[in-house]
Structure 1
Amino acid sequence: MKTRKVGIIGLGHVGAHVAYSLAVQGIADELLLVDMKEQKLTSEVQDLRDAAAYLPHRVTINAGDFADLKDCDVIVNSVGKIELLETHDRLSEMDFTIKAVRGYVQKIKDSGFDGVLINITNPCDIVTRELAMGLGLPKGRVFGTGTGLDTSRLLSALARQTGVDHKSITAYMMGEHGALQFAPWSAVSFRGMPLDEWAKTDERFRFDRDALQKESIGGGWVTYVGKQCTEYGICTTAARMVHIVLHDEKAIMPASMELCGEYGEEGLFVGVPCLIGKNGVEQVIELPLTDEEKAKFHDCCEGVRKNMEHLKDLY
């Protein structure tokens, strides 16, 4: 039986929690942890090994370097500097994260890695594109968590508002993983019945959509203000994506993926519903958006392109 091996680059709050989620859920058989801080790496490996003895399944945790990532099925990139988020702007991390990625992406490529890479690092859409270009893997093998976590907030908010379990709701946040993202309400449904149809007969479904969307976008800052980091939501999102890839689930969830004409856009990565399997993103799902939603999505893409202009200053 093939060993499922996952590498994690960067062991800050998010990276360490991703490692723990993968271990405690039994998603990976082997974890390879990589971090530039030697003592941090040693400490995280020890802590996870201490936990592994009482897990109901076997998991091996090892420290490594970029060259050791060669045999990984999946890599999760989570290098970041969370304190840079004090400006409430994910782009404030760009100067640090883009330079960091450019410092090691060639090392990943040189290792011979030929799996799937999932990026968490912010600004997610722009960093994911940088990793994809640097690694040169087939299309879809590099994608980001993008609006996946924001979608989980939307589903949670909809469940509280309507009383319907979140697993019975289909909804997405799309566009930039940031302030410009939006919820395409025309695509929200409850076990096949559109939100607009429910709203005709049930007042629970006649809520302030703008307020609920704002809540979903701003939820990350609510988390950050009290603890100066985000952990559980994003690590669970990443772990779910790793599980989908390793088990070739062909599951649909939002991810930051390259557009090549879908939704009339190209040349950038943004959050869209994707079919994910063993080869990463295997298909971008094009929702039948309204004209107003198409305009909002285009505005999101223009916002990402504007932010990408800053990359020229970092070369």
Structure 2
Amino acid sequence: MKVSLIGLGKVGSAVAHAIVLKGLADELVLVSRRTEMARSEADDLNHAAGLEEHSVEVRAGGDVDTAGSDVILYCDAAQSKTSDVDRYCAARGNLERLRERIPILAAASPQAICVMVTNPVDVMTWFALQLSGFPQERVFGVGTLLDTARLRRLLSERWSVHASDVRAYVIGEHGEDQVASFSSASLGGEAMKPSDDLASLARQAAESAGKIYRTRGFTNYGIAGATMMILESIRNNRRRTAPVSMRINNYHGVSDVCLSLPAVIGRRGIERVLRPELNEAEQATFHRGAQRIRDVIQTLAPSLVAAS
């Protein structure tokens, strides 16, 4: 399987390393605006690959070298000029880069699955759909998958069970109004009834990225792990269920905006979308997140039209 990784910042480099360690590509193409750095990154990763049992051929290239990719992992982002944790601060700069690259990447690999990693991921996923012309099952974002992992870890510590045995999803916006859908969550078939205790854990999960960001200036290992779960499910047709950012079609009255819902991920991309029930409070939060994403899209859309 040919995988092209666009963008080699802190997140892109962590994703590339994880691919090599896990052997999730036969060919990995690294694309960066910093050409020499990309070549050195490829050399370093090839040295690491030589120590693994599986074989991954890593090389640096440009957008044209991504031709024939099975999967495009989009991590490209403008350099942040602020220490603000707000994901939406980078929206305009990241959209400008997306507008340049996605049409070229889509033309070079018309059958690829495009996984958006760059923030604000819900906004970027919506614009990637418009710019690529791909069907919506082949363009989706990492979304709230990492938020879900954070929440499940806290819940697993609370009940002293393995995190993979906790059936709880964070859905909706990857941001302030993410929804911990406890009304449809369970542990061993036993329902988790929404409570103040669970709400406190959900807040801790939602705030954890900001705490890491304020200390390290970035987060990268968690998002790399989430990206690997998606890539492995595509490569091996695992049909894992993961909450990913996708175009919503009439879910609790919301349509034509990208937010996360649990989806079955396989070799063709999104193979099935699940629609968990939400209580009134969860629906209200979901709608707030949808409106926030819609507002950002409407603000940025005119600049996209003007440039085309």
TM tier, shorter chain? over 0.9
Aligned to 1:54: 51
State how far apart, in whole Å, the 1-side matches of 2:65 and 2:188 are: 45
> Which aligned pairs between 1:233-248 and structure 2 lie closer than 5 A?
233-248=222-237
- The residue that corresponds to 2:72 in the other structure is 75
1:262, CA displacement in angstroms? 2.7
Alignment counterpart, residue 150 of structure 2, candidates 148, 153, 158: 153
**CA drift at 1:240:** 0.9
Aligned length: 304
RMSD of aligned alpha carbons: 1.6
Distance (Å, rounded) in 2 between the aligned partners of 1:211 and 1:279: 37
Is the CA contact (8 Å cut-off) linking 2:39 and 2:59 kept in structure 1? no
Provide the identity percentage: 29
Equivalent position of 1:131 in the other structure: 128
CA deviations 1:179-217 (Å, max 9, x no partner) are 111201111211221113xx9xxxxxx762222111111
1: CA distance, partners of 2:79 / 2:105: 23
1:182 counterpart SS class: strand
Residue among 236, 244, 254 paired with 1:265: 254
In the alignment, the residues of structure 1 paired with residue 79 and residue 273 of structure 2 have an alpha-carbon distance, to the nearest angstrom, of: 30
1:114 to 100, 105, 111: 111
Alignment partner, residue 282 of structure 1 = 271
> Which residue of structure 1 lines up, in the alignment, with residue 168 of structure 2?
171
Structure 1: runs of 5+ lacking an equivalent = 200-205
- 2:205 counterpart letter in structure 1: S
Match of 1:291 among 256, 260, 280: 280
Deviations 1:55-112 (A, max 9, x none): 1211110111112222111110001146346112100111110000001112112214
Amino acid of the structure 2 residue aligned with 1:287: P
- 8 A contact 1:125–1:177 mirrored in 2: yes
**Deviation string, structure 1 residues 139-189 (Cα, Å, up to 9, x no partner):** 210000011111110001111111121111011111111111120111121
Q: Which secondary structure state, in structure 1, belongs to the residue aligned with residue 207 of structure 2?
A: helix
Q: Does 1:228 align with 2:217?
A: yes
SS, match of residue 173 in structure 2? coil
Q: TM-score, normalised by structure 2?
A: 0.94
Gaps of 5+ in 2: none
* Cα distance in 1 between the residues matched to 2:24 and 2:106: 25
Decide which of 182, 185, 188 is 1:188's aligned counterpart. 185
* Distance in 1 (alpha carbons) for counterparts of 2:245 and 2:167: 18
On the 8 A contact 1:82/1:228 being kept in 2, the answer is: no
CA distance in 2 between partners of 1:226 and 1:43 (Å): 28
CA shift for structure 1 position 313? 5.3
TM-score, normalising length: structure 1: 0.92
Q: Distance in 2 between matches of 1:262 and 1:120?
A: 23
* SS of residue matched to 1:210: helix
- The alpha carbon displacement at 1:113 in A equals 3.1
Q: Distance in 1 between matches of 2:138 and 2:93?
A: 24
- Answer yes or no: is the 8 Å Cα contact 1:168–1:190 preserved in 2: yes
CA separation in 2, counterparts of 1:37 and 1:87?
25
Secondary structure of the 1:174 match is strand
CA contact 1:244–1:251 (8 Å) conserved in 2? yes
Give the SS at the match of 2:67. helix
Contact 1:186 1:290 in 2 (8 A): yes
Q: Distance in 2 between matches of 1:216 and 1:94?
A: 23
8 A contact 1:84–1:92 mirrored in 2: no
Distance 2:28 2:96 in 1: 26
Post-superposition Cα deviations, 1:225-279, rounded to whole Å, max 9, x if no partner, equal: 2211111100010011011111112211110011122332111110111111111
Superimposed CA distance per residue, residues 93-137 of structure 1 (whole angstroms, 9 cap, x where no aligned partner): 111100000011121122143110100001000101111111111
